[in-house]
């Protein structure tokens, strides 16, 4: 296979094997990312500090997200400057998977909230290095006319990974410790086929880029306004998602009073994933054919806000199931189209991974800010009704601001 120069826009369509390998790598990555946040960390902290579990979970996930905010763009910048016969991205994908696996093993062994937080920070460090590599290979090797469809395929593991992860830790294995260990093994195994069986563009002549400087991580919204608006749009939509999903286990336990909240999370995740699978690839294909990125981001944000609004007024199991489907349908479109839109507003081809890392701060920062907002809302500002109303408002604002982007239709 002849690869395009990594500094230029790719022209050759990627094949099914390449897409399948990247999907598998992302599946392992998101199992390791999301299953602890949705299930294992909540269970582990509930056993260690049940009386203050909401605050403790918020601190642990917030600390990990803070590491992610720093690690992702730094790993991306280093990836952009990596030279050698193994390419720019593959070493970071495999190396990040290994460090992330070690972090999960460390987290499993902890018996204090502080220890759990530190172990999770190590896991986030490695997993975000891996994410920097997997994100960058799309603009490196996928042409614009195929990009939303491919983004739809690799967006499916973001929810399917959670489903499989929750199934593993609630059905296949018992206990939080074995759950972490299984995820640690899978994140490495899932990364290997893509790393070993696909090729990675290398810098012509193997020349390394300039050293990484702190100022490199500032992308001026004055010079690159579309990049700035894309960042803000993603930040707000992901903040709405973080506010609404972080306490799902506790919502089912304390507000809905579902008799088995752990299994309830699994059922809702299955419904949510079904919605994502229905719309992710289809939404990406439609967007590629129409070239209408902003319209579809706006529509998807409205659909997600509708699901959150339902939970504002109805704290029942049937309402939770309907909301899960609606949220999945909206997020499926969003994850495909927004990722494709963002790759079209990156300032420079030579800094793709670094700039995508800066964009990914808009994914990670809400995990820091979300707990800081969600905990006081639940405690003092309307409980779970106030929580989901806040999620609705923030998501709608994010969908509106996408229209400020000018260079993409």
Q: Distance between CA atoms of 165 and 171, rounded to whole angstroms?
A: 10
Angle at 298 between CA 297 and CA 304, to 5 degrees: 85
Residue 197: alpha-carbon gap to chain centroid: 25
Q: Distance between CA atoms of 390 and 141, rounded to whole angstroms?
A: 38
Residue 198: alpha-carbon gap to chain centroid: 23
H helix intervals, 36-112: 41-48, 53-80, 90-108
Per-residue model confidence (pLDDT) at position 315? 95
Return all residues near 305 (Cβ < 8 A) that are at least 6 apart: 240, 330, 391, 392, 395, 396, 399
**DSSP codes joined into one string, 138-198:** HHHHS-HHHHHHHHHHHHHHHHHHHHHHHHIIIIIS-SHHHHHHHHHHHHHHHHHHHHHHS
Could you list the pLDDT tens digit for every one of the 409 residues in the chain?
Answer: 445 555 567 888 999 999 999 999 999 999 999 999 878 998 999 999 877 887 888 889 889 988 998 999 999 999 998 877 888 999 999 999 999 999 999 999 999 999 999 999 999 999 999 999 999 999 999 998 899 999 999 989 988 998 899 889 888 888 899 999 999 999 999 999 999 999 997 765 555 556 677 777 888 899 999 999 999 999 999 999 888 877 888 899 999 999 999 889 888 988 988 999 999 999 999 999 988 899 999 999 999 999 999 999 999 999 999 999 999 999 999 989 998 999 999 988 788 889 999 998 888 788 778 877 888 898 888 899 999 999 999 999 999 999 999 999 8
Q: Judge whether 304 and 237 are in contact, CB under 8 Å.
A: yes
Per-residue model confidence (pLDDT) at position 209? 59
Q: Judge whether 120 and 245 are in contact, CB under 8 Å.
A: no
Per-residue model confidence (pLDDT) at position 2? 45
Task: List domains and CATH numbers for the chain.
Answer: 16-199+220-404 (1.20.1250.20)
Per-residue model confidence (pLDDT) at position 174? 82
Per-residue model confidence (pLDDT) at position 1? 44
Q: What is the pTM of this model?
A: 0.83
Per-residue model confidence (pLDDT) at position 71? 94
Q: Distance between CA atoms of 223 and 368, rounded to whole angstroms?
A: 28
Closest CA to 44 of 104, 124, 122: 104
């Amino acid at each position: 296979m002849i690869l395009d120069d990594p500094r230029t826009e790719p022209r050759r369509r990627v094949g099914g094997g390449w897409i399948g390998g990247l999907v598998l790598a992302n599946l392992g990555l998101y199992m390791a990312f999301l299953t602890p946040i949705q299930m294992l960390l909540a269970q582990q902290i509930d056993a260690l500090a049940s009386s203050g579990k909401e605050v403790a979970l918020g601190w642990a996930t917030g600390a990990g997200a803070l590491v992610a905010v720093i690690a992702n763009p730094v790993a991306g910048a280093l990836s952009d400057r990596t030279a050698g016969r193994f390419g720019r991205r593959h070493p970071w994908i495999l190396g990040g998977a290994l460090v992330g696996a070690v972090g999960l093993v460390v987290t499993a062994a902890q018996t204090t909230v502080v220890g759990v937080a530190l172990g999770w920070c190590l896991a986030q460090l490695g997993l975000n290095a891996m994410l920097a590599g997997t994100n960058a290979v799309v603009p490196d090797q996928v042409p614009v006319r195929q990009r939303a469809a491919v983004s739809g395929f690799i967006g499916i593991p973001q929810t399917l990974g959670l489903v499989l992860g929750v199934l593993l830790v609630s059905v296949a294995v018992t206990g939080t410790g074995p759950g972490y260990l299984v995820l640690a093994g899978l994140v490495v195994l899932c990364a290997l086929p893509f790393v070993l069986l696909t090729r990675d563009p290398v810098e012509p002549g193997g020349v390394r880029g300039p050293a990484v400087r702190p100022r490199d991580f500032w992308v001026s919204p004055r010079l690159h306004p579309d990049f700035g608006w894309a960042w803000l749009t993603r930040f707000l939509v992901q903040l709405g998602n973080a506010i609404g999903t972080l306490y799902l286990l506790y919502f089912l336990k304390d507000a809905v009073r579902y008799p088995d909240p752990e299994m309830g999370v699994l059922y809702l995740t299955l419904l949510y994933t079904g919605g994502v699978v229905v719309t992710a690839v289809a939404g990406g294909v439609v967007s590629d054919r129409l070239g209408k990125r902003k319209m579809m981001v706006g529509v998807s944000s409205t659909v997600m806000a509708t699901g959150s609004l339902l939970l504002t007024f109805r704290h029942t199991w049937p309402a939770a199931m309907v909301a899960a489907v609606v949220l999945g349908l909206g997020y499926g479109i969003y994850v495909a189209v927004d990722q494709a839109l963002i790759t079209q507003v990156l300032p420079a081809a030579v800094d793709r991974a670094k700039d995508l890392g800066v964009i990914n701060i808009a994914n990670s920062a809400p995990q820091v800010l979300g707990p800081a907002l969600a905990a006081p809302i639940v405690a003092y500002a309307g409980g779970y009704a106030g929580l989901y109303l806040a999620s609705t408002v923030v998501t709608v604002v994010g969908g509106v601001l996408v229209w400020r982007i000018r260079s993409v239709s």
